[in-house]
């Protein structure tokens, strides 16, 4: 006996049949869910990348013991063991720091430049060369603020030491004003300003033939310091 389809009642939407199932799609989906090898490979790659990053961090974070300045050292002064301290830093070829293992090679040498506490000691800042060359003499001159430029003086600066005779010594026997006596010199060291007198002692290197003359003139206090041009003699 055949079944006759019953027409839908008025206002009713006929039931829709769902899309046909595709066995192949189901099988493929299930097959993709059953591939644990891909997950294992992904995990291995992530682990390898993580360990590589850790090794790279270790390499860049490696620190090396170097020497730093613990106390102020003026240019020309002998570097003492207490003037140095050990610091741990990442090496930078551009800085050229002195390794802590080379401490014995530095102590006893002279500072080629002024050393500031907290700064790294770099190659070339310590020297074994004498600051007074052959054919020169070292003369210390006590100067007041009015006898020297306000510009900071540094070792190696070329200067002129000018004699400034007292008022009664300005005119010669002929009544004419003599030309000022100038002696070319090189700054070796600039001392600290004295709290009591306000004077600053400046060590200068001059040719040997002018050493005694300059020392005698400096003892009178009748000298002044003039900064020479970079191309001066």
Q: What is the pLDDT along the chain (233 residues), one digit of tens a residue?
A: 555 555 555 555 555 555 555 555 444 445 455 566 666 656 665 555 555 554 444 455 688 899 999 999 877 788 999 999 999 988 777 778 999 999 999 999 988 878 899 999 998 889 887 778 888 898 999 999 899 998 888 888 899 999 887 655 555 555 565 667 889 999 888 888 888 888 999 999 999 999 999 999 889 888 999 987 665 54
44 with 78, same domain? no
Instruction: List the CATH number of the domain containing 178.
Output: 2.40.30
What is the domain count for the chain?
3
pLDDT at 54: 45
**Domain with 142 in it:** 136-227
Distances (CA, A) of 78 to 18, 75, 131, 165, 208: 97, 9, 11, 36, 24
Domain assignment present for residue 216? The answer is yes
43 with 103, same domain? no
144 with 219, same domain? yes
Contact 83, 73 (CB under 8 A): yes
Cα-Cα end-to-end distance for the chain:
132
Domain assignment present for residue 44? The answer is yes
Domain assignment present for residue 3? The answer is no
144 with 186, same domain? yes
Nearest to 112 by CA among 97, 129, 126, 98: 126
Instruction: List the CATH number of the domain containing 112.
Output: 3.90.1210.10
Contact 89, 64 (CB under 8 A): yes
pLDDT at 87: 92
Contact 79, 111 (CB under 8 A): yes
Per DSSP, 133 falls in state -
116 with 143, same domain? no
* pTM of the entire predicted model: 0.51
């Amino acid at each position: 006996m055949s079944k006759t389809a019953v027409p839908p009642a008025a206002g009713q939407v006929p039931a829709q049949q769902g899309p046909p199932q595709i066995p192949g799609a189901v099988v493929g989906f299930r097959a993709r869910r059953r591939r644990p090898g891909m997950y294992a490979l992904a995990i291995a790659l992530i682990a390898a990348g993580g360990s590589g990053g850790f090794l790279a961090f270790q390499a860049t974070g490696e620190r090396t013991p170097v020497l730093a300045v613990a106390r102020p050292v003026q240019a020309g002064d002998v570097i003492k063991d207490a003037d140095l301290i050990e610091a741990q830093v990442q090496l930078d070829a551009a800085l050229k720091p002195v390794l802590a293992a080379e401490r014995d090679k530095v102590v006893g040498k002279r500072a080629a430049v002024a050393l500031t506490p907290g700064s790294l000691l770099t190659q070339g800042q310590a020297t074994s060369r004498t600051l007074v060359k052959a054919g020169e003499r070292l003369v210390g001159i006590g100067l007041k603020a009015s006898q020297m430029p306000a510009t900071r003086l540094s070792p190696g600066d070329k200067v002129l030491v000018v004699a400034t005779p007292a008022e009664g010594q300005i005119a010669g026997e002929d009544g004419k004003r003599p030309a000022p006596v100038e002696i070319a010199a090189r700054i070796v060291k600039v001392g600290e300003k004295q709290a009591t007198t306000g004077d600053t002692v400046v060590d200068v290197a001059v040719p040997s033939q002018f050493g005694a003359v300059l020392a005698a003139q400096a003892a009178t206090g009748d000298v002044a310091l003039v900064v020479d041009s970079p191309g001066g003699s």
